[in-house]
Each structure stands twice: as structure tokens, then as C-alpha cells.
């Protein structure tokens, strides 16, 4: 502020000096008067501490906007990828890539039912047959028999579980959190019913004796008009980390 007043005082002194030389202010043209005024204005602004340029470097602004846009895009892509991973959940085992000895990518061997069921070494499970019925198991002596709802029939898939390990094996398939879906005629898919049957594949929990074979089954409902026309059967079996798809018929 002091420098501002010094500049004003100098201008005033110069004006007085010019006035004292000839008892009158020298005559100046309009151009000269304008030049003096502009010089005085520039000098005042130069020493005005409160005067700051409001012009902004456009290149700096453009660079900042580009950086902010890139940062926003990166965050959006990260959120999208996280969302896709959460929505996609577990990837089927057969989609897992494998790198061969020559460096080329090969398809991983599809998982088997034995792997999904985590059966001990020497135990196998084999699809045997299917049947259509109104209730399963048949016979009034079965306390836990299930019946089809109106307009539907039960489709029962029978499997043989064989223990060839040479020793008794305790199985607890219910602890695996199994999810079994059955697809009929490539268009009709249903999740296996949860039952209290001792031989329910998804909920099986028992001891299988050495060299013994036990029957396990999976049950779904199908429309009555489809029950007599089953041309293909496929199952999709998942545990908490792996999956397999097997064509039965």
C-alpha cells in the first residue's frame, strides 16, 4: 500500500513541476493525454497489492480435466469389474484355462461327479436310470414318501454309489452345500427337490461299507404332458467352489 501512495505522489510532483515551469500546464494533443492517462493507470495497478489477474491458463485447465476424467473412468471400470465378478459368482471348472508344456492354452478337463461330491479315493457314482411316478418311493410303508402336485409327475434319477476303496467310508454330502439342477429336453430346468429320503443325493449322510453299492436319487417335478416324452436329460451339479455338467440321456 505504501508503494501505491509513493507512485501517486511522484505523479503529482511531476505534474506540479510541469506547471511551475511556465505558470501553465503545457498544451498536449489528445494522443499525448491518452498516453499519460494509460501510463498512470498501469503504474497504479502495478503497485496495487489487491490487484490480481483473473486469467487462467487454459492448458492447465485442460490437463486437470483430462486427469479427472481418466481417474473417474478408472474407478468406474473397477466398480464394473467387481460387480461382474460378484454377479458371475463361481466359474465352472470346465472353463478354467490350462497352459500346456509348449506354452499354449488348453481347455481344462471337465470336473467329474466324484470330484464335485468329494468322494474318497476308490468311490464312484454312476447314473443308472430314471422313472416317472406320482409318488416316491412307492408303497405305503415309506413314511417319508413325496407326491407330485396337481398337473405334474415326479421324475426320479437313480444313481449307484459304489465304495471300492477297500474300507468303510463315512459320507456327509449335505455339508458340501450342493446345488443340483436337472434339464429335461434341453428346455425345462428345475432344481432337485429337497427331501428327507435316506437316499437323497444332495442330502446323503451315511456310512458306505467296503465293496458295497448304495442307491441315491434326485427328484424333480415335470408337467404331466412332458412326463411321457423325456428325450434328453442333463444335470448341473455344484458345490461351494466347483461345478460340472453331465449329459445323462
Q: Is residue 68 situated within a structural domain? A: yes
Q: Which alpha helices (H) appear in 51-166, and where do they start and end?
A: 58-88, 113-117
99 in any annotated domain: no
Instruction: Say if 103 falls within a structural domain.
Output: no
What does the pLDDT average to over 177-193? Answer: 95
pLDDT in tens, 62-121: 676 777 777 777 767 666 665 554 444 434 444 444 455 555 545 556 789 999 999 999
170 and 220, same domain (yes or no): yes
CA nearest neighbour of 91 among 246, 248, 240 = 240
Q: Domain with 185 in it: what CATH number?
A: 2.60.40
Q: Largest alpha-carbon pair distance within the chain? A: 138
Does 164 share its domain with 120? yes
Question: Could you tell me if residue 51 is inside a domain?
Answer: no
pLDDT at 95: 44
Q: What is the DSSP string of 90-120?
A: SPPGGG-EEE-TTS-EEEPPPPPHHHHHTPP
How far is residue 218's CA from residue 238's CA, in Å, rounded to a whole number? 14
Strands ordered across the beta sheet of 213-223: 123-133, 152-163, 213-223
| Paired sense of beta strands 169-172 and 135-136, if any | unpaired
Q: Is 191 within the bounds of a domain?
A: yes
CA proximity to 168, closest of 203, 197, 200, 206: 206
Q: Is residue 219 part of a domain?
A: yes
Whether 162 and 126 have beta carbons less than 8 Å apart is answered as yes
3-state secondary structure of 245: strand
Kindly state whether residues 40 and 79 are assigned to the same domain: no
The grid cell for 19 is 506547471
Do both 123 and 206 map to the same domain?
yes
pLDDT of 38 reads 62
Domain that holds residue 68: 60-89
Q: Which residues contact 239 (CB under 8 A, 6 or more apart)?
A: 116, 117, 118, 176, 177, 178, 179
| 94 falls within a domain | no
pLDDT at 19: 47
Residues 77 and 134 grouped into a single domain: no
102, part of any domain:
no
| Residue 31, C-alpha cell as written in the block | 494522443
User: Is 194's pLDDT higher than 80?
Assistant: yes
Q: Say which range, 5-14, 31-40, 178-187, 212-221, has the weakest mean pLDDT.
A: 5-14
Average model confidence (pLDDT) across the chain? 76
Q: Is there a single domain that holds both residue 82 and residue 15?
A: no
How confident is the model at residue 54, as a pLDDT?
A: 46
Q: What is the CA radius of gyration of the chain?
A: 44
Both 183 and 151 in one domain: the answer is: yes
Asked if residue 239 and residue 187 are part of one domain, the reply reads: yes
- Could you report the per-residue pLDDT of 22-48, keeping only the tens digit for each? 445 556 676 666 666 666 666 655 555
User: pLDDT tens, 118-162?
Assistant: 999 999 999 999 999 999 987 656 667 899 999 999 999 999 999
Residue 124 shares a structural domain with residue 232? yes
Residues 185 and 85 in one domain: no
- Residue 185 scores a pLDDT above 90: yes
Half-sphere exposure of 31 (CA within 13 A, CB side): 0
Q: How many domains does the chain have?
A: 3
122 and 213 belong to one structural domain: yes
pLDDT of residue 59: 60
H or E element that contains 25: none
Average pLDDT over residues 202-209: 94
Same domain, 131 and 238: yes
d(C-alpha 234, C-alpha 184), whole Å: 7
Phi, psi (deg, nearest 5) at residue 114:
-60, -40
> Each residue of 233-246: pLDDT tens digit?
999 999 988 999 99
Per-residue confidence (pLDDT) for residue 88, from 0 to 100: 42
d(CA 155, CA 184) in angstroms, rounded, equals 10
Amino acid at each position: 500500500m505504501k508503494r501505491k501512495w509513493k507512485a501517486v505522489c511522484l505523479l503529482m510532483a511531476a505534474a506540479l513541476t510541469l506547471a511551475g515551469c511556465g505558470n501553465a500546464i503545457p498544451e498536449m494533443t489528445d494522443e499525448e493525454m491518452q498516453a499519460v492517462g494509460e501510463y498512470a493507470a498501469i503504474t497504479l495497478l502495478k503497485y496495487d497489492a489487491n490487484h490480481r489477474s483473473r486469467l487462467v491458463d487454459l492448458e492447465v485447465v485442460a490437463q486437470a480435466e483430462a486427469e479427472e476424467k481418466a481417474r473417474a473412468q478408472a474407478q468406474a471400470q473397477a466398480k464394473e469389474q467387481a460387480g461382474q465378478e460378484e454377479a458371475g459368482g463361481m466359474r465352472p471348472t470346465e472353463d478354467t484355462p490350462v497352459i500346456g508344456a509348449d506354452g499354449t492354452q488348453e481347455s481344462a478337463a471337465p470336473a467329474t461327479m466324484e470330484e464335485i461330491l468329494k468322494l474318497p479315493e476308490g468311490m464312484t457314482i454312476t447314473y443308472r436310470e430314471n422313472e416317472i411316478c406320482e409318488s416316491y418311493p412307492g408303497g405305503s410303508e415309506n413314511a417319508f414318501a413325496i407326491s407330485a402336485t396337481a398337473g405334474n409327475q415326479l421324475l426320479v434319477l437313480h444313481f449307484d454309489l459304489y465304495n471300492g476303496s477297500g474300507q468303510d467310508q463315512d459320507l456327509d454330502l449335505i455339508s458340501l452345500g450342493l446345488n443340483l439342477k436337472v434339464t429335461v429336453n434341453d428346455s425345462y430346468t428345475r432344481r432337485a427337490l429337497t427331501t428327507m429320503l435316506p437316499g437323497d443325493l444332495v442330502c446323503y449322510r451315511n456310512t458306505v461299507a467296503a465293496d458295497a453299492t448304495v442307491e441315491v436319487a434326485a427328484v424333480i417335478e415335470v408337467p404331466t404332458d412332458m412326463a411321457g416324452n423325456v428325450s434328453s436329460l442333463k444335470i448341473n451339479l455344484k458345490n461351494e467352489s466347483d461345478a460340472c455338467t453331465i449329459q445323462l440321456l
